[in-house]
Amino acid sequence: MKDLTEYIPLITLTTDWGQHDYYVGMLKGSLLSSLPLVQIIDLSHDVASFNIHNAAFVVKNSFHFFPSGSIHLIMVNSEANASSRILICKSHNHFFVTPDNGTIGLLFNEPPEDIYEVPFTPDGSFASLPAYVKAVKNIMDETLGERITDFDKRIAFKATIDESVITGSIIYIDSYQNAITNISRSNFDRVRQNRNYNIYVQSNHNKISKLSTGYKQVDSGELLALFNSANLLEIAIRNGYAAELLSLRAGGTVRINFI
């Protein structure tokens, strides 16, 4: 039998709508009514409301696990789009459909060149819905539309690096209340140069002097730091909720001092 993924498009959905409202049903119903053969995968509907940084983090760290040619719909803060258009982006052999609200710049380290627009009329409370369906049709028909360069080119915050200090920010709080930062393993290794270090989480009172390679390397209730599956520094408490117990929020500071 022929591999179905060769001819049935796969679409992922990332929204801030939650699991209980009817918006997800409207989107899925509209897609399946127009394109009955598509496969639809719920990536996340629990993105923090209006938080495009949160949405970009979820998609950026998961899309490459899907087959080439997958279409990723990101509908976070989509109705507040001042330019009244949806963008189609082709990158890494995947397609991304987002509002023109800065999400695309947050998805990639380097802004992609292939950006196309799908205009829509901002009438009603869910005016972008037909535009998303049209964008998927355009991708499947290989008629992506007009290429543009004047989209919102927002960029993600990066850790600052000095000779003996890396200062980063918390960029994501996961469902276990672990705090994920923008400090990468590669930057840590490059600056460390076999030196000892102290990791300070939001204040000098929360200090970690040794990286773990797993959560079980510390006692229950103990603070730890490790590089996670995305190769980003993560702060956690074994069998506890680090963000809640330490009052950590996105934007909070994590500093590494090398000795």
- Residue at 9: amino acid letter: P
pLDDT of residue 5: 44
177 contacts 243 by C-beta, under 8 angstroms: yes
pLDDT of residue 79: 61
Domains and CATH numbers, the chain: 4-141 (3.40.50.10790), 160-258 (2.40.30.90)
Both structure tokens of 156: 């993600």
pLDDT of residue 21: 82
pLDDT of residue 154: 86
Residues of the chain with pLDDT under 70: 1-7, 79-83, 124-125
Tell me the C-alpha to C-alpha distance, in Å, between residue 65 and each of 1, 59, 108.
23, 10, 16
Residue-wise pLDDT for 88-141, tens only, equals 999 999 999 999 999 999 998 887 888 999 988 777 667 788 899 999 999 998
pLDDT of residue 3: 44
CA distance 84 to 78: 9
